[in-house]
Amino acid sequence: MTVDEKKSKKINILNILTPLAGVTLLIWMGLSALESYFEKQNVHLGHLHGVIKKGQVIENFPLSEGRKKIVQFYDFKSKVIVINFWATWCPGCIVEMPSLIRLKKQYESDGLKLVLVNLDDEPEEDIKTFKEKFNINFDLYFDVQAEASKKFEVSAIPLTVILDQNHKVIAYQVGERDWFDSSVRSLIEKHLSL
């Protein structure tokens, strides 16, 4: 084999390997993006910020129901409790709010309690408009003393935690989601014994 033939063979191999490497890289990037997408779409089970674990019982904490009335978390006696930390300025919170309200309407009579915990600095200013926009005719709660936020180590919102009737964590989600999708409804129905 001559030198020119060897060079030609190397060039042919490079012409084949270069696009193959590019395709492999694109496939890897696509799979990584899909994995990230599907991870965001599922209700996470397990650790929440390294502190809350699946099956862990959440201790009691106070919430404000308006400026004066304080309620205790343990006052909520329901088969399933969905706690959602949100704010009026949070785009993800606004996107997911209709599905949370729909979940509440569907399962409230079966034993679901939706606890919307507002984290706005000055909640009175924006809450009235927000309630009207989403046709919210039920109580909203405020973490005035920041005890709930500390307990759940809220560092990003929306943050949603689903608990059973014994106040044990069964699922959580950091970030927005459709709370009326089939996987969430199956989880809720399982714990409501439907």
Residues 61 and 73: beta-carbon distance below 8 Å: yes
**The model's pTM:** 0.72
Residue 193 has pLDDT above 80, yes or no: yes
Does 91 sit behind a cis peptide bond, omega within 30 degrees of 0 on the bond before it? no
- Give the closest residue to 162 by CA, choosing from 40, 48, 41, 13: 48
Integer Cα distance of 152 and 82 in angstroms: 13
Half-sphere exposure of 175 (CA within 13 A, CB side): 9
- The CATH number of the domain covering residues in 62-192: 3.40.30.10
Q: What is the pLDDT of residues 86-116, one digit of tens each?
A: 999 999 999 999 999 999 999 999 999 999 9
Give me the pLDDT at residue 47, please: 40
The tokens 């399962």 sit on which residue? Answer: 107
pLDDT band with cut points at 50, 70 and 90 for residue 155:
confident
